[in-house]
Structures are given as C-alpha cells and as structure tokens.
Structure 1
Amino acid sequence: MTLQLVLVSGLSGSGKSVALKLLEDLGYFCIDNLPATLLADTVKLLEAQGQPRLAISVDIRSAQSLPALPACLADLKARGLDVRLLFLEAKHEALLKRFSETRRRHPLSTLHGDLTVAECITLEREILAEVADLAHRVDTSDLSANALRAWVRQFLALDQSRLTVIFQSFGFKHGLPLDADFVFDARCLPNPYYDPVLRPFSGRDRPVIDFLAAEPAVGRMYHDIETFLEHWLPSFDRDNRSYVTVAIGCTGGQHRSVYLAERLAGRFRGERQVLLRHREQDGEHR
C-alpha cells in the first residue's frame, strides 16, 4: 500500500491545529512541528512500520529547515508517494484578532523579541511564501472551524494526479480571498438584493437563478469567464499545477457570485476535477 503523506503548513493562528486534529481523528499518524530536514527519514521509518497515512506539520517554528522542503517534497513524489501539501493562511487583521483573543505569543517573537505581533505576521508571511506557492492554499480569515474541517475533507478526497479547479464565491465587502489565482468582479451585474422578494434567497435558489439567467449581461459575463478558462486551463496542465482557484465576487457574496460559481462549476465538472466553495455562506458571515 502506498503511503499517503499530508503536510500541513501555513501562518501561525490560521487553523493548523484544527486541521491536524481532524487528520488525527480520521486515522492519520500525526506529528506536529517536524523540521523539514527530518522529513525524509521520518517518512521512511513510518513507511517501514506499515503506517498507511501520515500527517506532518511543517511551519515557522522550524524556520531554519524550511529551505530544504521543496527538494524533499520532490524526492518523496519521485518515490511514488501520495504527497499533499496544505497551506493555511488568513488576512493580517484576522490573525491579529486571533492572537489578541487567545493572548498567545507569536512563534517568531521568541527569536525576534523586538518585533510586534503585526511585524511577526508580516515576516512569517514572507518566509513562508515559497511554501505557499507549492501548496493547496486555504484562506481561513472568514471560515468557521466546521467549514475549515469540511474544506480539508474535500482536499483529502482529491485525485492528486489531476489539476483541481476551485470555483469560489465571495463578497467584496469582506475582502479579497488570499488564495485566489483569478478574480472576476460581478458587482456590475443586476443585483437581486434590491428586490425584497429575492433578497432572502441565495444564488443557489430557484427564484434567484431564474432572475439572473434571464439577464443578458449575466449570460455575457458567464460566457466570457467560460471562454477565458477554456483557453488558459490547458496551460496550467502543461505547467504541472495542482490547483487553480477561480474567485467570483459580488458585494455580499450571496447572489450573483454564488450563481456564477455554481454555473461554472457545473460546466467544467464533466471534464475537470472541480471543487465548489461559497466563502460567505460557508464561513462566519452567513
């Protein structure tokens, strides 16, 4: 049996402990804060012991070993192991709030005692940028713990040999998603919010679907995004990318963006591996 390795990385306070606890509950052998330089030997040892599923947290607490991580990942994949890298992040303000509420010290503060928490967060983001570029990124700024667990479960179910296209709706009033590769702005489209009858519904409900489907401008935007993705997704295949996140935003993330994300996910699901996420409906703003 091929060992499945899930590496969990990301910013301090972004939810790594929630993800690792879920993986432990799912039967993964979990190790927290392993230096990247010990990764290959640790995997080899546990593979020899017959461990089928392994989850390891590699993050800023072992910062000096992080430059070794990309080469180590490439070597493990070359051995035929099922290697998955999950990177959790959050907006600056969200992380500041979490550290304030928990009164925890930032891990970098032990190495750089003269830095504020805000400065530690900025430095950590810079140090981990290369790791984030290799991973499936999840912005947890507006996610509840339950939503994060659900998204991690989706991640585990993916076929790593195929490009995954993630369609994500969001509301601009809550900020841009950090994990987006492409962002499309649907705020110029007719807004069901201004119809008192349609306002309580979402873009997944029939009344809003019928309203937006009847608007020519909505159809043109859908067609433009569809054509853009048809043209450019093969380039990501050739570049051996594992994930592409297409974010579609409207004002509140409830109607227009949800409708377009649902419709685009349905269009591409037959030919590609697709994930569908609605940030504001899955998260803390619902």
Structure 2
Amino acid sequence: MELRQLAAFLAVARTGTITAAATELDLAPSSLSEQVRALERSLHAELFHRTPTGMRLSDQGQALLPHARSLLAQAEQARRAVAGQPRRVRVGTLETLAASHLPGVLATLAQRRPELAVQVDTMPRTALLAGLAEGELDAVLLLDLGPVLGGLGFTPPPGRSPLSAARLAFVDLDTVPLALVAAPGHPARALGVLTAARVAAQRLLVTEPGCSFFLALHHLVAAPTDLVPLRSLATMRAWAAEGLGLALLPEFTVAEDLAAGRLVRLPLHESPPELCLRLVWPADRENTDPDLKQVLYALTA
C-alpha cells in the first residue's frame, strides 16, 4: 500500500465519485482511478461497488476505512514532526459563541497544549455538523439540550458519504442559562408570573427558524401565535428594549441591559430551558487519531 493510494481511496469514499475525488486531489480522473485499482490489487479485494451513480464502499472497503485514516494521520504527524510544524486542530463554532465562550476554551487548550496551531471557523450548526461528518473539522462547539445529541430539536445531517455515518461523541463543558426579557414598561409585566399559554399569546421576537434560541423558545412555548423573525440576537435585544416584543435570550447577552434597567426579566411559571455548551467530535477519530484524543482531553479535563 502507498500513502497516495490510501488518500485516493479516502477521497473516493468521501465524495462518492472518481470525478469529484480527482477534483479534490487535483488529479486526472484516470490517474486517481488507477491508484484505487492498484490498491485493490495489492489487497486482493474489491473496495468499492461501482454503480452508474457512483462508488459505494464494499464490506472490505468499510474494513479498510479506519486503518486508512489512521495511517494517513500518523504520516501527517511524522511529516509535521520532521518539518518542525505544529499539529493543526480545526475547531468550528457558532457565531454566537465565538466571542462569549470560545476564547475560554481556546485559552484552556493553549495552556495545556501550547504547541498546537488552532484554526477556528464560525458557521451555522448544520454546516458545523456536516464539517465533522466529512472530516473537515476536528471538533465543534454548539448549543444543545438534554442527554442526547440533537435534544434541542435538530438532527445531525447524514453527510455525503460512508465517512459521514461515524457516530458523533460529545461532552458538555458549561451551561448557558436563558432569560425571557422585555422593556420595563411592557404590558406583560402586569400579568405576574407567566404561564406558557400567556407567553404564547405575546408578540415574540425570535431568530431565524432552526437557530438554537428559536428551538429553545419552542421548548418553552408549545404554540406561539405572533412571531417576529429577526436576524441577530443584538437586534432582538434592541427591539425588546424598545417595547416591541418579548425575547428569549442567553443571559450573557442581556446581563448589562438587566443591570442597567433597559430590560427586565419576566417571571415564568416554568423555568426556560438551560442550554448546554457542547463539544462534539467524531467518535471513531479517538482511535484512528491518537493525538486528537489528547487534544480533546486537554479541552475537557
């Protein structure tokens, strides 16, 4: 086996076609196809089922998959060690967390693994999980709820290839409390302790559907009737301060407004859900990339 053959094998497994894999590796399709066939000949095994719509891993290909990833990861570690280059860790996060929670996580990592180079990407949750599934990210920080991944109300995307079927593991690093807030003079204050039904009858300022705080609101209120979608938490906070509706926001974004009296916390019959700051990574990478396991330990210890 040659490393370039294993790279070709993984690219085809990841993309599902020779053409897409060749584009990814900047090779001619005929050259990449020959590398895959040479690997199959050396192993005396058919690694893919070739269909009119693309390439699908065979049982033998599935068996090779973790070993191929491990061998290439070790080769990359060796190359970086010889070249004196640091291990690069790719971390993705939500834009909301990039300023509030990520710096603390990165500071912990820098203290425990100062030799690492960390690349940070901010993107929506769907893109974060897809990046994990496709091997483009090593770990992501997102917001969730409950004991299982997706308890907030989202489903991890299936991805484009068998690589995406890997189980995602996670650990919760912190809690993110939420507060239902309004302007000091908002009529809802006169209602006393609000039930879910009373909240549902109010004009509610929300983020776009699918956002963590949009989903959290639906855990608090079953059937809201008057939703005003806005593009950012900052806009929600500003509109709420002007009396234009109620907003369910993370406490860290409204702490100063509550202290200054620009916003007030509305009492609720049932407490709003408390979100989790969740670190997620592909579980299979713990065994195929030992160095990543150490990085994850540094982040969570």
Establish whether TM, by shorter chain, passes 0.5. Answer: no
TM-score, normalising length from structure 2?
0.29
Bigger radius of gyration among the two = 2
Q: TM-score, normalised by structure 1?
A: 0.30
